[in-house]
């Protein structure tokens, strides 16, 4: 009868397949898997949805699915070859979907397409973990004490750059983590890293919520709960930068991978390299910029395609991102 579809042989009666609103969206990673196909993505999605629903109904076990290749296909049009091609396409779409399901937990867990699964901030404090004073614009500042055109000292005497890396995802734990920090010019690690090990530390913070990106909240809610997990052998220092690579967080004192909302901190103590040099007071104020980035893996760092990346950001009082910096103002 027109408008009805007869079931194939094997005792299976008429089946009506209702395709509801798509139950999923193919992510950018899935789209890349199918990018070499000659079929448009929209047609592929439709065929895939129909294939999944119909095959689940018609072939609930592997035996029936195996026999599918030998069953005749009921056709409603006279274009037999076109229908056969459509049936073959449906089969291959099902196979492709099964392959996607096999990789999907890894793809989503890795955060390959979701850089926001890690969030990276920079904060500045003094050596006692107090936020730097704010200037008239609300940005952090230090005072450069200049006498007779010679830079004598700074207030505070040390500046600590804090790089906060927080896991903001919800479906993954990171096994490995890398943090790269670029230091502001005219400032050096103090004490020198090659001679002492007290200037650079790595901390774990068991945060349970997303932190507010402001210095006061950072100093009051994050720093007091910092747990030192520094492994000096995992820290390298280059000209103007610090790199930290933790291949396996479970092998550190925390004993587990980085879970959602939890935080890793990198702290770097700096001293002013221009102390004792000729620096006219009118050459100030000077703005000192620092930057950082982080990468997280669900496996080891060499695992291909498994990285989630996050550049650093600082925010003003209006919540707008900007470069992370503090300003040095001269005082006679």
Give CA separation, 195 vs 147, 191, 198, in Å. 31, 7, 9
Distance CA 60, CA 67 (A): 12
Count the helix, strand and coil residues of the chain and give each as a percent rounded to the nearest 5. 25, 30, 40
- Collapse the DSSP code of 222 into the 3-class scheme (helix H, G, I; strand E, B; otherwise coil) and give the result: helix
Q: Please give the Cα distance from 218 to 165 (Å, whole number).
A: 12
Q: What is the tens place of the pLDDT at every residue in 120-176?
A: 999 999 999 999 999 999 899 999 999 999 999 999 999 999 999 999 887 778 999
Domains belonging to the chain, first-starting first, are: 28-110 (no CATH), 115-331 (2.60.40.740)
Smallest Cα–Cα separation from 242: which of 196, 298, 202, 301? 202
Contacts with 115 (C-beta within 8 Å, 6 or more apart), sequence order: 308, 309, 310
Tell me the C-alpha to C-alpha distance, in Å, between residue 115 and each of 164, 165, 174, 246, 261: 15, 12, 13, 19, 15
Contact status, residue 163 vs residue 179, Cβ threshold 8 Å: yes
Cα–Cα–Cα angle for 243, 110, 262, rounded to 5 degrees: 65
pLDDT tens digits for range 51-86: 444 444 344 444 444 444 444 444 444 455 655 655
Contact 242, 162 (CB under 8 A): no
Tell me the C-alpha to C-alpha distance, in Å, between residue 85 and each of 58, 82, 88, 235: 19, 5, 5, 58
CA-based angle 175:181:186, to the nearest 5? 165
pTM of the model: 0.65
Determine the 3-state secondary structure of 318 from DSSP.
Answer: coil
Confidence of residue 196 (pLDDT cuts 50, 70, 90): low
CA dihedral 203, 106, 305, 229 (to 10 degrees): 10
pLDDT tens digits for 276-324? 999 999 999 999 999 999 999 887 776 655 678 888 888 877 778 889 9
Whats the size of the chain, residue-wise?
Answer: 332
């Amino acid at each position: 009868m027109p408008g009805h579809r007869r079931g194939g042989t094997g005792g299976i009666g008429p089946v009506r397949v209702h395709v509801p609103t798509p139950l999923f969206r193919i992510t950018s990673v899935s789209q890349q898997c199918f990018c070499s196909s000659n079929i448009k993505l929209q047609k592929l999605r439709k065929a895939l949805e129909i294939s999944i629903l119909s095959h689940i109904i018609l072939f609930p076990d592997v035996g029936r699915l195996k026999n599918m290749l030998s069953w005749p296909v009921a056709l409603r049009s006279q274009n037999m070859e076109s229908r056969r091609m459509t049936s073959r396409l449906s089969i291959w779409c099902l196979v492709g979907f099964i392959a996607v399901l096999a990789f999907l937990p890894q793809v989503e867990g890795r955060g390959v397409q979701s850089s926001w699964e890690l969030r990276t901030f920079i904060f500045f404090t003094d050596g006692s973990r107090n936020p730097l004073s704010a200037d008239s614009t609300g940005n952090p500042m230090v005072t450069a004490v200049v006498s007779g055109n010679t830079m004598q000292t700074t207030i505070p005497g040390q500046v600590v750059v804090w790089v906060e890396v927080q896991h903001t995802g919800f479906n993954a734990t990171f096994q490995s983590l890398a943090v790269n920090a670029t230091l502001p010019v005219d400032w050096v690690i103090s004490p020198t890293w090659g001679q002492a090990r007290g200037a650079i530390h790595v901390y774990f913070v068991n945060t349970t919520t997303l932190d507010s990106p402001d210095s006061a909240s950072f100093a009051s809610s994050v720093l007091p709960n910092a747990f030192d997990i520094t492994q000096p052998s995992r820290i390298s220092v280059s000209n103007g930068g610090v790199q930290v690579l933790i291949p396996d967080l479970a092998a550190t004192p925390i004993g587990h991978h980085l879970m959602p909302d939890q935080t890793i901190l990198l702290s770097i103590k700096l001293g002013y390299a221009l102390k004792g040099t000729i620096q006219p007071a009118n050459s100030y104020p000077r703005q000192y910029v620092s930057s950082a980035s982080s990468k997280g893996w669900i496996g080891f760092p060499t695992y291909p395609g498994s990285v989630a990346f996050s550049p650093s950001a600082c925010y003003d009082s209006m919540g707008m991102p900007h470069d992370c910096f503090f300003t040095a103002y001269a005082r006679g």
